[in-house]
């Protein structure tokens, strides 16, 4: 499965988007599992803290769950 390059710190943006949608990690994980993306709470936490590379399939699922654009995940990376 393809992964994004580890030099892209998008975890903070994922967390920020999740907060703005008023979702808990458990809610996001449950929705991802329903979509066929098997992910544990510890793995999801590692994604938000940039301790693990995100899979493209996970990012696509989060885009649908958060109802956002892919660009939203990459905002402010150059600041």
For residues 55 and 25, what is the distance between their CA atoms, to the nearest angstrom?
Answer: 17
Q: Are 14 and 75 in contact (CB under 8 A)?
A: no
pLDDT of amino acid 79:
45
Kindly report whether the global pTM for this prediction surpasses the value 0.95. Answer: no
Please give the average pLDDT of every successive group of 10 residues along the chain, which has 79 residues: 62 94 98 97 95 92 96 73
């Amino acid at each position: 499965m393809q992964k994004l390059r580890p030099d892209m710190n998008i975890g903070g943006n994922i967390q920020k988007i999740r907060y703005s949608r008023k979702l808990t990690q458990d809610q996001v994980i449950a929705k991802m599992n329903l979509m066929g993306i098997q992910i544990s709470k510890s793995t999801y936490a590692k994604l938000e803290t940039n301790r693990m590379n995100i899979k493209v399939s996970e990012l696509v699922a989060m885009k649908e769950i958060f109802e956002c654009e892919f660009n939203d995940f990459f905002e402010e990376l150059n600041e």
